[in-house]
């Protein structure tokens, strides 16, 4: 918004202070000054008035008051005269105008003066100069006066030709109301505007004469023949005006001010100032009627300010007198307090709609005092690290591992449409297809695979989510509780045995949590088989255990004709409880390892875990790792299966010789042969 430097000097002494210095001060304490340009003997400042001060600072008087507070200067006598001008009524020939306001919410205050004996003429040079300096244009002295007052004190004004209103409405009635759909008005710019419902308008004799708060109507405009006027200085609801400008696609300087809401009490200042200037420009004028619709008078807000809190928030120690001086310079009224000097009671001017609580007052004190004067201090706070959410950390570790192995995470609904042994019926379902709570994650993942079979031949999915379980407590009462579960499914197309591939993923995942005593058990109880047979092929299903504690299940999924899908589900709560968070480190081996292969023939019911256990029980300390790399079963093996292992030997003290490794192998082979297993040479 544009402001004239010479205009500002009417209200405050700026001797020896340049326009550039004013721009710097305003930028540091109030608003950013975007540019300063020379205009003849004047300087024009383009000030970015923020939205939170749009209700009071879009005028020269408010900016001058800001400068007075910053410079610790008192306003000139001209300012004091301006704010104390009164309006005297006189007898006249004009009959009174009746104003009807149909909505108090949209019109908090409607104020106007009926004035006789106006001489419409060209404006004086000083008035034209000020308006043109900030981008306005001169029309005549009455219209220019309304624009000048708006730019001076921030109150939009409008002048109606009294006699034209009387011709439209012999009853002398003006109605302020909301428009109806399809109504129209020709505005002062000569444009005929069709209105939608809800736009604030003024009507006289069933004809619209004004787009309230935006632009007047051509039918009541001031012209050379005008003798009597109705001078309006009203307060209209900001959101209503903003909505109207959006609907019309038309903005004015007045609407820009109104849309931020303004102080209803500003009308008195604007009307008093207008009469004073009219007398200067046109000679004696007679105010014959004062119209004032003001149902709910706005009063100053009372705010209690704790001085210690103010200094604490600002980070600087200001005296009581300094705080009071700053507030009074901004036109706040400071009252005495009975708190022993620890607090003050402040009355905020009604024009300061943005000041509603103590923190607002503290902000005013800080910006006028100067943020640059406040010393920079590092905050003194406790920098202790927050407690780690272990459950969330473990979930993220699971996600990273499975994603690195090619799995994609999915999220399914906790509600299902099947009432079975693996779902808990709801008493009050949210939908017909969501009548149960799930008791495991595998069914949802299995359905995800089926839905994607037509798009992909190899699928790896996992899910981390809540499931619901039911158990009997000590009193034989059925209780239901929820817990975290982890499940994954795999559909392979590369010809490899998917169960062992998935088993390897599960083992590596569990071992990444520092758990080593994991093993797989196919001895399922009858109730477990009944519980799992809906989703798993129980003949290809194993328990996953940590020591003697059940962790979950791993096996082949049912109902996948033509392909084999496998899945696992783990109790995430058990996994996190068994996790070893502490890690033990040992130095890297200095000496090379030696690898030998070992193949055995064993009965088909022999488990890999049994063979691994026997190998490890050979008590060969130098045996550091055993890996299964082949499993084969065929007719040529006489109904036996072949298991092939990599055995890795390594010493931390020396390089092992072939002879030493041969001795270790012989010890292991002897142990295996004693179990009746044949060693393939």
Q: Which residues are known binding-site members for Mg(2+)?
A: 354, 360, 363-364
Q: Which letter, b or e, does each residue of 615-632 get, where b requires 16 or more Cβ atoms within 10 Å of its Cβ?
A: beeeebebbeeeeeeeee
* Contact (Cβ atoms closer than 8 angstroms) between residue 162 and residue 228: yes
3-state secondary structure string, 542-553? Answer: EEEEECCEEEEE
The pairing of beta strand 192-194 with beta strand 98-101: unpaired
Nearest to 254 by CA among 88, 391, 58, 66: 58
* CA separation for the pair 434, 7 (Å, rounded): 72
* CA separation for the pair 3, 26 (Å, rounded): 12
Encoded tokens for 614: 């026997």
Place of tokens 């949210």: 430
The pairing of beta strand 98-101 with beta strand 173-178: parallel
- The β-bridge partners of 467 are 483
Q: At what angle do helices 390-404 and 498-511 cross, to 10 degrees?
A: 140
Strand boundaries in 561-602, DSSP class E: 565-571, 594-602
Classify residue 436 by its DSSP letter. E
Place of tokens 């003050």: 344
Nearest to 353 by CA among 451, 235, 434: 235
Place of tokens 């209700």: 55
Encoded tokens for 21: 């210095």
* Contact (Cβ atoms closer than 8 angstroms) between residue 557 and residue 536: yes
Classify residue 202 by its DSSP letter. E
* CA separation for the pair 372, 38 (Å, rounded): 29
Nearest to 418 by CA among 391, 449, 446: 446
* Contact (Cβ atoms closer than 8 angstroms) between residue 178 and residue 204: no
Helix H or strand E segment including 526: helix 526-532
* Contact (Cβ atoms closer than 8 angstroms) between residue 626 and residue 616: yes
Encoded tokens for 32: 């950013």
The three-state secondary structure class of 339 is coil
Q: At what angle do helices 608-616 and 658-673 cross, to 10 degrees?
A: 130
The three-state secondary structure class of 453 is coil
User: CB within 8 A of 429, min separation 6: which ones?
Assistant: 415, 435, 436
* CA separation for the pair 47, 69 (Å, rounded): 17
For the annotated binding site, the residues are: 354, 360, 363-364
**CA–CA distance from 326 to each of 27, 52, 319, 450, 538 (Å)?**
18, 20, 11, 74, 83
Nearest to 461 by CA among 520, 517, 416, 403: 403
Encoded tokens for 283: 């000679």
């Amino acid at each position: 918004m544009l402001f004239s430097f010479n205009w500002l000097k009417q209200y405050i002494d700026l001797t020896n202070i340049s326009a550039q210095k004013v721009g710097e001060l305003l930028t540091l304490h109030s608003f950013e000054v975007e540019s300063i340009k020379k205009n003849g003997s004047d300087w024009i400042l383009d000030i970015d008035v923020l939205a939170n001060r749009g209700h009071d600072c879009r005028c020269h008087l408010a900016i001058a008051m800001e400068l007075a507070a910053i410079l610790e200067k008192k306003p000139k006598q001209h300012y004091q005269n301006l704010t104390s001008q009164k309006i005297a009524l006189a007898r006249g020939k004009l009959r009174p105008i009746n104003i009807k306001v149909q909505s108090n919410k949209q019109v908090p205050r409607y104020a106007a003066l009926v004035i006789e004996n106006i001489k419409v003429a060209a404006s004086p040079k000083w008035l034209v100069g000020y308006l043109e300096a900030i981008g306005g244009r001169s029309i005549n002295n009455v219209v220019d006066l309304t624009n000048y007052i708006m730019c001076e004190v921030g109150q939009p004004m409008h002048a109606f030709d009294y006699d034209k209103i009387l011709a439209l409405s012999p009853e002398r009635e003006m109605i302020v109301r909301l428009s109806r759909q399809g109504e129209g008005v020709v505005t002062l710019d000569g444009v005929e505007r069709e209105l939608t419902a809800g736009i604030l308008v003024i009507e006289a004799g069933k004809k619209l004469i004004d787009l309230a708060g935006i632009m007047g109507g051509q039918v009541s405009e001031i012209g050379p023949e005008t003798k009597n006027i109705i001078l309006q200085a009203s307060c209209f609801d900001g959101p209503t005006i903003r909505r109207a400008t959006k609907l019309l696609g038309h903005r004015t300087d007045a609407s820009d001010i109104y849309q931020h809401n303004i102080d209803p009490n500003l009308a008195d200042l604007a009307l008093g100032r207008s009469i004073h200037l009219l007398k200067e420009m046109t000679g004696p004028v007679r105010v014959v009627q004062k119209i004032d619709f003001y149902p709910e008078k706005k009063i100053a807000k009372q705010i209690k300010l704790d001085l210690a809190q103010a200094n604490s928030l600002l980070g600087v120690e200001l005296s009581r007198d300094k705080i009071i001086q700053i507030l009074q310079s901004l036109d706040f009224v400071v009252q005495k307090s009975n708190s022993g000097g620890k607090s003050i009671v402040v009355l905020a001017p009604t024009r300061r709609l943005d000041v509603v609580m103590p923190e607002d007052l503290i902000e005013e004190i800080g910006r006028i005092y100067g943020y640059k004067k406040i010393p920079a201090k590092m905050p003194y706070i406790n920098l202790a690290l927050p407690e780690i959410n272990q459950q969330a950390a473990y979930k993220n570790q699971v996600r990273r591992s499975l994603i690195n192995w090619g799995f994609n995470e999915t999220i399914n609904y906790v509600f299902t449409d099947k009432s079975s042994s693996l779902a808990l019926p709801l008493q009050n379902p949210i939908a017909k297809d969501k009548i149960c709570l799930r008791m495991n994650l595998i069914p949802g993942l299995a359905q995800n695979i089926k839905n994607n079979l037509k798009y992909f031949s190899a699928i790896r999915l996992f899910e981390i989510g809540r499931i619901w379980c039911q158990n009997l407590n000590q009193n034989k009462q059925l209780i239901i509780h929820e817990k975290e579960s982890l499940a994954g499914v795999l559909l392979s197309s590369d010809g490899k045995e998917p169960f062992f591939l998935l088993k390897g993923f599960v083992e590596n995942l569990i071992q990444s949590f520092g758990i080593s005593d994991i093993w797989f058990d196919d001895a399922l109880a009858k109730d477990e088989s009944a519980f799992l047979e809906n989703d798993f092929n129980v003949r290809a299903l194993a328990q996953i255990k940590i020591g003697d504690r059940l962790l979950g299940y791993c096996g082949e999924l049912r109902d996948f004709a033509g392909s084999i899908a496998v899945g696992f589900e783990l109790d995430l709560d058990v996994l996190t409880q068994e996790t070893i968070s502490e890690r033990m480190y040992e130095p890297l081996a200095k000496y090379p390892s030696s690898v030998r292969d070992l193949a055995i023939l064993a009965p088909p019911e022999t488990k890999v875990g049994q063979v691994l256990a026997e190998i490890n029980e050979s008590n060969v300390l130098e045996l550091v790792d055993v890996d299964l790399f082949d499993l084969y079963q065929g007719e040529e093996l006489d109904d036996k299966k072949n298991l092939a292992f990599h055995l890795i030997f390594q010493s931390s003290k020396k390089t092992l010789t072939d002879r030493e490794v041969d001795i270790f192998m012989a010890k292991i082979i002897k142990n295996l042969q004693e179990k009746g297993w044949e060693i393939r040479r």
